[in-house]
Amino acid sequence: MLRFAAEENFNADILRGLLRRKPDLDIVRVQDVGLSGADDRAGLEWAAGVVSWLQPPFSQADAGYIVA
């Protein structure tokens, strides 16, 4: 199964639509894990602790993507 982490400004309408169509979707927004207002690097570092293949260091080019 794929696990997703979405950045803070991920469109809530899209998220609700995804969850409506697939209620068992494993997706978390950074604000759901206490990272609201944190920079993108902090979100990526959190995600790196959750998924084994995502490893620092991270560049600005990495910011803004959904991690799967």
Q: What is the per-residue pLDDT across 50-65, written as a single tens digit (0 to 9) for each?
A: 665 555 555 555 555 5
Domain map (residue ranges) of the chain: 3-62
Is a pLDDT exceeding 90 seen at residue 44? Answer: no
Is a pLDDT exceeding 60 seen at residue 17? Answer: yes
Kindly report the average pLDDT of the chain as a whole number.
75
Place of tokens 């803004």: 64
Torsion angle, alpha carbons of 51, 54, 55, 59, to 10: -140
Percentage of the residues of the chain whose pLDDT score is greater than 90: 12
Pick 48 or 19 by higher pLDDT.
Answer: 19
